[in-house]
Amino acid sequence: MTKADVVARVCEAMDCTKNEAYDYVEDVFAIMKNTLVSGENMKISGFGNFEVNQKHDRKGRNPQTGETITITARKVLTFKPSAVLKQAINTEI
């Protein structure tokens, strides 16, 4: 599913124009992005948790040359689905 698909579904569900639906979707994504960029975790009930985790420097290896390298510290985003979402995905239709 693409962002355009999400916009189309929001447009149908809310009975609004595509431009309005696009603005709604963009606003929600902007709020999510700003929350995560600021380092806050985000929990959407019935959907899941988005968490920003800090990874430290670590040693790695270039698989082509075998050379040892240092992988720099960075932040990573993880998503853990809620039990409700897991159950919905695994329920047979």
With beta carbons less than 8 A apart as the criterion, state whether 48 and 80 touch: yes
pTM of this structure: 0.77
The contacts of residue 43 (CB under 8 Å, 6+ apart) are 49, 50
Cα–Cα distances (Å) from 83 to 3, 42, 53, 86, in that order, read 25, 16, 21, 5
Q: What are phi and psi of 67, to 5 degrees?
A: -70, 140
- pLDDT for position 22: 96
- pLDDT for position 93: 63
Per-residue model confidence as pLDDT tens for the chain (93 residues): 999 999 999 999 999 999 999 999 999 999 999 999 999 999 999 999 999 999 999 999 999 999 999 999 999 999 999 999 999 999 876
Q: How far apart are CA 30 and CA 20, in angstroms?
A: 15
